[in-house]
Structure 1
Amino acid sequence: MIITNKTNEKCVSWCKRISPLFVFLLFIFDLSAQEAPNITTEVDTTFIKIGEQVQWKVTVDIDSTDFVIFPEGQTFSPLETVEAFATDTTRKKDRLTLQKIYALTQFDSGAYKLPAQRIDINGVGFMTDSSMINVATVPVDTLNQKMYDIKPLINVDKSNYALWKYLLIGLLVLLIFGGLLYWFVFRKKPLTEEEKVALLPPYDRALLELKRLENSRYLIQDEYKEYYSELTTIVRSYLEEDAHVTAMESTTGQLIEKLELLKDAGELNLEDDTIKQFQQILQTADLVKFAKNKPSTSVAEHDRKLVEQIVEKTHEALPEPTEEELLEQAEYQEELERKAKKKKIKIAVISTVALILIGITIAGVKFGFGYLKDTVLGHPTKELLEGEWVRSSYGFPPIQLESPQVLVRQEIKLPPEAKATIEDVQAFEYRSPIALFNMGTTSITLAQKETEPEFDKTIEKILSNFEDQGAKNIITKQEEFSTISGVKGVKVFGSGNFPMPGSEELLEGEYTVLLFGGKGFQQYVILTWLKDDTYAQEIVDRILASVEVKTEA
């Protein structure tokens, strides 16, 4: 096939005209190939009881390249989101199906609209359908079910678990310390070989050491100085211990002179030849040690044998000890044993005191010495603070708070003149029998349901009651107070001198009064405690942080 230039020009011209149209058609085709996202929702039920859950499920069918954002947080109000489950993803070719389930609930009865939710797909918002959810109360059968009176408060024995725990820990520490003390101080330790030799009588010990010297390697290694030094030390030590001659610090001449004096005095029956042999051995040892003389091996071995004979002859020459000497030796040994026992006891006492002081110092630095003293000696409000706390509601309208002890209901008799304005008074109180720590709650129902409470008169009455009980120098401050849930009230606080229970003695104390109320009712909380009592202050702060009240009677 032959294509001319003219034909080629026509083709190029046609292509120029058709290219824009072709591209536009391809774009339309590409858009039609991407299907629009499909969103469906459903709920498993439209009727629940208070506190039950309804599951709202949303399903999104999209292209695999699309980006989806599901609702987050409390977007289902007035229904409350309990849990948002993980997204379930299913792929089919180039399409994705995303499914997400939300668990919703409501704690008040009524009909609630589940609002439409926004699903973002590639930045474009799609709104779901809304639904109606009916929440019903739980029916209570008050006709067929027998009703019972409210049970009275009973005293429950406090658990001693914490006490036993600390006792066991203390016992374990004492056992470990006692074991260490026994092992390192009082235990009769096995004697080492050197200690066993040291306990032998001087004569037996000298013979044993001479036998060891015979088996030593001094002569083989040409260590004559060491050989003769040990040889003379053995014989000098023996003479000093058994013959009571100051031999260790004496020169050769002095030692021989002392032996001759003992022989002349009849206290040591040695022959002259034995003394001369001993003198020759000492002189040889001096030459070896100081003049670096080196005798033959046979001479050195012979000198050792002569020393052994000298020791034996000296032992035989010593007179037998008298009964008094033996008794003195026995008493001396007993005295040594007593001293050793006293030393062990002293070490044990010092170790125990040191351990206690170290423990007290560490605990004092970590917790404070005041806290440590209160822990050991006890402190009434500290025990309240660290005891088992109780959260309960008191009176009607209810006052809910957390306290270290359960408040006890108080019998209130209204005077005749008050019955015209007050319908009912419910009071609860706890008084510490030791410390000046008291707390109480009072709920008052007014006879006129539309009457607003008069806080100023109530405050004046409370302060007047303080004075009637003996309190003096009362200082008052006032500010607004809010509970955690946002209920507004009035806080009256200050200090004064309060009487101790059962005594006329006045002590510096502090007080706080919280007042709440609405149409037809009034509530207040009263707290008093000793000034500068840090434990009581912690109790008060914890109670105030826990107070909750109803705003309607």
Structure 2
Amino acid sequence: MNYNMDIWSLMARERQRVFLLALCLLSLSLARAQEGPVIRSEVDTTNIRIGEQIRFTVRVEADTTAQVIFPEGQTFAPLETVEALKTDTTIRDGRMELIKTYALTQFDSGNYLLPTQRIEVDGAGFFTDSLRIAVGDVAVDTTAQKLYDIKASREVEAPPMRLWPWLLGLAVLALIGGGVYYFFFREKPLTEEEQEALLPPYERAMLNLKKLEESPYLIQDAFKPYYTELTGIVRSYLEEEIEVDALESTTDQLITKLEIMRDAGKLNLEPGTLIQFQKILQTADLVKFARSRPEMKQAEADREAIRNIVERTHEAIPEPTEEELLQQEAYREALEAEKRKKRLRIAGISLAGVLVLGFVGAVSLYGFQTVKESIFGSPSKSLLEGEWIASSYGYPPILLETPEVLLRQEVPEERLIKAGIQDMDVFMFSDPGAGVSIFARSMAFADREKEPDFAQNVEEVLTQMEAQGAKNLITKQEEYETKSGVKGLKVFGSGRFTLPDSDEQHEGEYTILIFGGKGFMQQIILSWRTDNTYNEATIERILENLDVKLSV
């Protein structure tokens, strides 16, 4: 009995320990869940040189449901933000860790304070520590790299602007626009016949009866034209107003059609009106075909009777339904749209014709190439007539005036060492559209007493041109003198050259200019297409202003 009681007592104590342990674990979890966010920041270095970058990292540890907002934009002034990397997220033990890294830099030397940054977590603001960043200068070896004064700016005259092509084009466009407006879009005054044609059928019929009353037919005993016009007025009115085939019907046929419309309820006319109308039509038939001559009073009475018939018919027509009115409106809109389309088609055809005639006339006067360049432009023309740039390139300097600035080209240092060259500056500009290429190279030999070998250099250039696809090269050479009196070697000629990034070849010319003295050599290579006159003028201008300095 005592043995059983000890077992039950031991089991109760064990359950109590398990309960207490679970309670502790739960308390720790709740405490950790209720723990606030933790913000840490760091940089990979506090010392950089001008233009180098530092990595500023912010770490935020918070609950997985927290909303965290990092700073954006240029909030790191005086440091500049180069890039903000994507946020890295890690979840561990029910907590979330966010890592945000910024790349920062500065282009002026000095000591800068990286300001505190505000991190927003669930609407509450938390701030990082401020840090001191030192930015040092880049060391320059002035003994190996010579320094020179900044060159003074030079005034360059703008190329004269040729206004006549623009004035001619504006005049032609104004003439075309005026013609199109006058003939197709101008509101033309309507003639009397057009104004009458626009009147409603009833008003037009009454107007024509008034004109018939004022006509000299009855005075001249011209009963046939009088009755012909009288019946024509009423027949035209009936055909338009009640849409009955009246002009092509005989008297009996017309009366029968009107009776059918009256019986169908489409025309509310009294029987006496139709009988009177039939008598007038029969009298008109006798006058027109049997040469009958009624009295003048009878003719006047018949005209007044027709007037009454028109009025009664107009009054007897039922009012159109809303559906019929909509159909009429849709028809009128469709008709107007068709008229507009017709006018636009005529205007388009006329405009195309004028443009074709103008183009043919301009080609006959100025030539196809000039007209083409005026309309579509020309890369060669743009180069020649653009704003030119005068600058010096390399050391010893080569002075050039070119349509565009020449860009420096990188030269592998091992090639310089192998060729016995201490320093070499290479500059180049190429416009494949215009077919113009400009190359300038200035080099200083490692042996300051070495004389340049012009012939060998020319051979190397020609070999390189052939390796790049040049064929049928014709070579000439002569002495060349710059505008300042510096003498050198000029090698020039023609050939077929391959366009960049293409297998297509074109006819072209080239010029190689070489200058030099003890310890240095300067080289200028010009090549251009010869299928237009603008390239020739461009090369001439470059050669006229080219100069070199021979002092090392």
In structure 1, C-alpha distance between the alignment counterparts of 2:154 and 2:226, rounded to whole Å: 92
The C-alpha deviation readout for 1:150-191, integer Å capped at 9, x for no partner, is 8356798x9799699988986776666556545544455554
SS for the counterpart of 2:245 is coil
Q: Which residue does 1:478 correspond to in 2?
A: 475
Q: Which residue does 1:463 correspond to in 2?
A: 462
Q: Which residue does 1:270 correspond to in 2?
A: 269
- Contact in 1 for aligned 2:442/2:523 (Cα 8 Å): yes
The C-alpha deviation readout for 1:473-500, integer Å capped at 9, x for no partner, is 5433234779999x99865313255573
| Offset of residue 524 of structure 1 | 7.5
Cα 1:305–1:519 change in 2 (3 A) is same
| Offset of residue 235 of structure 1 | 0.5
Q: Which residue does 1:534 correspond to in 2?
A: 532
- Contact in 2 for aligned 1:381/1:435 (Cα 8 Å): yes
Q: Which residue does 2:505 correspond to in 1?
A: 508
In structure 1, C-alpha distance between the alignment counterparts of 2:525 and 2:409, rounded to whole Å: 14
Q: Which residue does 1:201 correspond to in 2?
A: 200
Q: Which residue does 1:227 correspond to in 2?
A: 226
- Contact in 1 for aligned 2:394/2:426 (Cα 8 Å): yes
In structure 2, C-alpha distance between the alignment counterparts of 1:306 and 1:258, rounded to whole Å: 20
Cα 1:163–1:293 change in 2 (3 A) is farther
| Offset of residue 218 of structure 1 | 3.1
In structure 2, C-alpha distance between the alignment counterparts of 1:542 and 1:409, rounded to whole Å: 23
Cα 1:225–1:396 change in 2 (3 A) is farther
- Contact in 2 for aligned 1:430/1:439 (Cα 8 Å): yes
Q: Write the mapping of 1:106-117 to structure 2, written as runs, cut at 5 A.
A: none
| Offset of residue 397 of structure 1 | 13
Q: Write the mapping of 1:242-391 to structure 2, written as runs, cut at 5 A.
A: 242-360=241-359, 362-363=361-362, 376-387=375-386
| Offset of residue 512 of structure 1 | 2.0
In structure 2, C-alpha distance between the alignment counterparts of 1:409 and 1:363, rounded to whole Å: 44
Q: Write the mapping of 1:100-249 to structure 2, written as runs, cut at 5 A.
A: 151-152=151-152, 177-178=176-177, 180-249=179-248
Cα 1:545–1:215 change in 2 (3 A) is farther
In structure 1, C-alpha distance between the alignment counterparts of 2:325 and 2:410, rounded to whole Å: 90
In structure 2, C-alpha distance between the alignment counterparts of 1:243 and 1:481, rounded to whole Å: 100
Amino acid at match of 1:478: T
SS for the counterpart of 2:216 is coil
1:494 paired to 2:507: no
Cα 1:453–1:267 change in 2 (3 A) is closer
The C-alpha deviation readout for 1:339-367, integer Å capped at 9, x for no partner, is 33444444455455555555555555656
Moved more, 390-399 or 221-230: 390-399
Q: Which residue does 2:436 correspond to in 1?
A: 437
Gaps of 5+ in 1: 1-147, 446-451
Q: Which residue does 1:47 correspond to in 2?
A: none
| Offset of residue 231 of structure 1 | 1.4
- Contact in 1 for aligned 2:441/2:523 (Cα 8 Å): yes
Q: Which residue does 1:113 correspond to in 2?
A: none
The C-alpha deviation readout for 1:125-149, integer Å capped at 9, x for no partner, is xxxxxxxxxxxxxxxxxxxxxxx97
- Contact in 1 for aligned 2:470/2:498 (Cα 8 Å): no
| Offset of residue 239 of structure 1 | 0.9
Moved more, 301-310 or 331-340: 331-340
Amino acid at match of 1:511: E
Amino acid at match of 1:508: Q
- Contact in 1 for aligned 2:266/2:318 (Cα 8 Å): yes
| Offset of residue 518 of structure 1 | 12
Amino acid at match of 1:494: S
The C-alpha deviation readout for 1:271-293, integer Å capped at 9, x for no partner, is 44433433333333334444555
SS for the counterpart of 1:249 is coil
In structure 2, C-alpha distance between the alignment counterparts of 1:155 and 1:549, rounded to whole Å: 17
| Offset of residue 527 of structure 1 | 2.0
Amino acid at match of 1:493: G
| Offset of residue 232 of structure 1 | 1.5
In structure 2, C-alpha distance between the alignment counterparts of 1:261 and 1:176, rounded to whole Å: 60
| Offset of residue 234 of structure 1 | 0.7
Amino acid at match of 1:213: L
SS for the counterpart of 2:308 is helix
- Contact in 1 for aligned 2:526/2:539 (Cα 8 Å): no
Q: Which residue does 2:59 correspond to in 1?
A: none
In structure 1, C-alpha distance between the alignment counterparts of 2:339 and 2:327, rounded to whole Å: 18
- Contact in 2 for aligned 1:514/1:524 (Cα 8 Å): yes
| Offset of residue 237 of structure 1 | 0.5
> Could you say what the CA RMSD is over the residues aligned between the two structures, in angstroms?
5.8
- Contact in 2 for aligned 1:402/1:546 (Cα 8 Å): no
- Contact in 2 for aligned 1:440/1:526 (Cα 8 Å): yes
SS for the counterpart of 1:477 is strand
| Offset of residue 241 of structure 1 | 1.3
| Offset of residue 472 of structure 1 | 3.6
| Offset of residue 471 of structure 1 | 1.8
In structure 2, C-alpha distance between the alignment counterparts of 1:538 and 1:294, rounded to whole Å: 96
The C-alpha deviation readout for 1:483-532, integer Å capped at 9, x for no partner, is 999x99865313255573xx6x5653533226699999999863213x56
Amino acid at match of 1:249: E
Percent identity over the alignment is 45
In structure 2, C-alpha distance between the alignment counterparts of 1:542 and 1:217, rounded to whole Å: 89
- Contact in 2 for aligned 1:206/1:238 (Cα 8 Å): yes
Moved more, 245-254 or 177-186: 177-186
Question: What is the total number of aligned residue pairs between the two structures?
Answer: 397
The C-alpha deviation readout for 1:103-141, integer Å capped at 9, x for no partner, is xxxxxxxxxxxxxxxxxxxxxxxxxxxxxxxxxxxxxxx
- Contact in 2 for aligned 1:471/1:496 (Cα 8 Å): no
Gaps of 5+ in 2: 1-147, 445-450
In structure 2, C-alpha distance between the alignment counterparts of 1:167 and 1:543, rounded to whole Å: 26
| Offset of residue 312 of structure 1 | 1.9
- Contact in 1 for aligned 2:383/2:538 (Cα 8 Å): no
| Offset of residue 314 of structure 1 | 2.3
In structure 2, C-alpha distance between the alignment counterparts of 1:212 and 1:456, rounded to whole Å: 106
- Contact in 2 for aligned 1:474/1:494 (Cα 8 Å): no
Cα 1:366–1:298 change in 2 (3 A) is same
In structure 1, C-alpha distance between the alignment counterparts of 2:547 and 2:293, rounded to whole Å: 108
SS for the counterpart of 2:246 is coil
| Offset of residue 547 of structure 1 | 8.6
Cα 1:496–1:346 change in 2 (3 A) is closer
For normalisation by structure 2, the TM-score amounts to: 0.52
